[in-house]
Amino acid sequence: MSTPVITASALTKTYGDFTAVDGIDFEVAPGESFGLLGPNGAGKSTTMRMVGAVSTRTSGSLSILGLDPNNHGPDIRSQLGVVPQQDNLDQELRVRDNLLVYGRYFGLPRAVVAERADALLEFAQLTDRKKAKVDDLSGGMKRRLTIARALINEPRILLLDEPTTGLDPQARHILWDRLFRLKEQGTTLVLTTHYMDEAEQLCDRLVVVDKGRIMAEGSPASLIREYSSREVLEVRFGSDKNAEAAERMAGVGERLEVLPDRILVYSENGEAALEAVTHLGLEPITSLVRRSSLEDVFLRLTGRSLIE
Amino acid sequence: MSAASLPAAATTAEVALQPRRSALYAGNTGAVIHRGLLATRSTNYLVVLSGFFEPVFYLLSLGIGFGALVGTVQTSTGQEVPYAAFIAPALLAVSAMNGAVYDSTWNVFFKLNYSKLYQGMLTTSLGPLDVALGEIFLALLRGAMYALGFMVIMQAFGLNLAWTALLALPAVLLIAFGFASLGMAITSYMKTFQQIEWVTFIMLPMFLFSATFYQITVYPEAIQWVIQALPLWHGVELVRGLTTGALSPMMFVHVGYYLVMIAIGVVFTTSRLRALFLK
């Protein structure tokens, strides 16, 4: 394996008594698409800010592109593209000017920036909106512009903090398509998300983070293999009857997870599990057999769901 | 279009970065200024102009109108000058101050807390000193524009009494720089709009009492000391000496005062931006 572009070991960040990131270790290889999956408040954004060289670690070590962000913040930042959780586009500038001006912040020559800006507007599907005011763009367009802006300096690592949070499903899919193209081109992507589908679509490898710690690490498929069964049966009996039904269902499938609104049955064969349930004389109001997802991995690891 | 024609992001990391920039300064203040000038396109010019006219109205009403009742007054160097020529240089200093302060308080506060502009800038290779210097320069520019316009009006009314009035131009730049720098430093510590109102609250008495409309000698000595500690008095005395042609060694003190003010403002703004966005 080639030299990692990011190496973190025992990386810790505390704010007063609160430990936001509690001694995490990870490496990111060049060209890899790496994700931090976890609920809100897990320490993902704090980790991203340390990697982005805009937040100083409390302890541990961190190396970005071979440099320590404590001493080489501007050098590191010049090689990163950052898509923050909340868009911070320049409202006082038009769409294309946002790209031009941002490129100049990196000290790039005008002509270079102009050429890249046009290509990036194409990539972000915003060429026909290049003279628009930022305020007049939709949420999805703003996000795409933010991503285009993050690419203006041809970064070696693109950091995306919750890239599709708050977008409607169609806008999310357009964005995923754009990010997937970057990934195919070999751009190193580091993203945080609390959407399991996003992590499954975009990440080669991910860490599951909760309360500032890494709970598990691996590819989406290997995590599902390791921490969940192949299939999941979801049954609902009505909120007051779920607990009682769950007691009678003990022994069905490999493992049961009782949630307030439904019961999850982990099994290699969901249909067979459903048959076993009906065999017990139980009649669920609704039932659904699906493949295991990272949501199930997270539930298994933490006992909680990702989106609370 | 195909993704291939996209400016390809670099994919290899075999060569470690060669460090060259300091953590505070990337030598790229120009990019911050360029952004500020582009952004003025979306500015409401009526608001900008209203700030310019304030001292002009004072000149017309008090200098020309009220001045007809006063006749001549004596400057601190003992020179007899028409009342309008006495207050005009003070108002010139005020116009430089106003422009710089409006920009470095209200506008900076908005960019700091609402538009997240500086936060965005500091995720690039810009350092906090680049941002501080660029933004201070833009505030200074507004002060300088106000002052330049006011100079033209003074000239038209024949209120520049000596050739040294030309030196008032660099003097007002210095004054605008001082207020822009300190203004941004103070604003960077503010959290609410109410706190900005305090600045306006302090500026009004400073404007009225800094030997703007009469000699400082009307006050008891203790009050004089207070006035002389405030920045506007130094600006008023410096500019008045230059436009009336009464040069004195005290001018070096005035200039020195502003140099210190600029330095303090830049240092505090830079360290505050760093503390806010690179912590």
Mean pLDDT taken over chain B: 90
Q: What residue in A sits closest to B14 (Cα-Cα)? A: A3
Residues B37-60, mean pLDDT to the nearest whole number? 86
Judge whether residue A1 has pLDDT over 80.
Answer: no
d(CA B85, CA B158): 8
As a whole number of Å, the CA-based R_g of chain A is 22
Percentage of residues of chain B with pLDDT beyond 70: 92
> What pLDDT score does A40 carry?
84
Give pLDDT, residue A130.
96
- Give me the pLDDT at residue B17, please: 57
Domain assignment present for B134: yes
Asked whether the predicted pLDDT for residue B49 surpasses 60, the reply is: yes
For the residues B220-243, what does the mean pLDDT come to? 96
Angstroms from A81 CA to nearest CA on chain B: 8
Contact flag B278-A106 (C-beta cutoff 8 Å): no
Q: What is the average pLDDT score of chain A? A: 92
Q: What is the mean pLDDT of residues B40-67?
A: 88
Burial of A124 (0-12, 13-18, 19+ CB in 10 A): buried
Kindly state the average pLDDT of the residues B137-164: 95
Residues B3-46: tens digit of each pLDDT: 444 544 444 434 455 555 678 888 999 999 999 999 988 777 77
Q: What is the set of domains in chain A, with CATH numbers? A: 6-219 (3.40.50.300), 229-291 (3.30.70.2190)
Question: Would you say residue B206 lies in a domain?
Answer: yes
Residue B126's domain spans which residues?
51-277
Q: Please tell me the distance from the alpha carbon of residue A184 to that of residue A199, in angstroms, as a whole number.
A: 16
The pLDDT assigned to A304 comes to: 72
pLDDT over 70 at A218, yes or no = yes
pLDDT of residue B18: 58
Residue A39 has pLDDT above 90, yes or no: no
Q: Which residue has tokens 């064969």?
A: A269
Residue B34 counted as domain residue: no
Residue of A107, A123, A185 lying closest to B28 (CB–CB): A107
At B189 the three-state DSSP class reads: coil
pLDDT digits (tens, 9 = 90+) for B158-197: 999 999 999 999 999 999 999 999 999 999 999 998 999 9
Q: Does B149 fall in a domain?
A: yes
Mean pLDDT of A200-222: 93
DSSP assignment letter at A135: G
Number of domains in chain B: 1
Residue B14 lies in a domain: no
B255 inside domain = yes
Closest Cα of chain B to A262: distance in Å? 42
User: Does position B2 have pLDDT exceeding 70, yes or no?
Assistant: no
Contact B23 A73 (CB under 8 A): yes
Q: Using a CB cutoff of 8 Å and minimum separation of 24, what contacts does B23-26 make?
A: B23/A71, B23/A72, B23/A73, B23/A74, B23/B127, B24/B127, B24/B128, B24/B129, B24/B270, B24/B274, B25/B127, B25/B129, B25/B130, B26/A74, B26/A107, B26/B125, B26/B126, B26/B127, B26/B130
Contact B13 A66 (CB under 8 A): yes
Q: C-alpha A119: how far from its chain's center? A: 26
| C-alpha–C-alpha distance, residues A6 and A4, integer Å | 5
Least CB–CB distance from A122: residue in B1, B28, B31: B1
Task: Give the pLDDT confidence score for residue A2 in this predicted structure.
Answer: 78
B44 falls within a domain: no
Of all residues in chain B, the one with the smallest CA distance to A91 is B115
Which range has the worst mean pLDDT, A191-195, B59-63, B232-236? A191-195
Relative to beta strand A205-210, strand A33-37 is parallel
In this complex, is the C-beta atom of A110 within 8 Å of any C-beta atom belonging to chain B?
no
In a domain, B4, yes or no: no
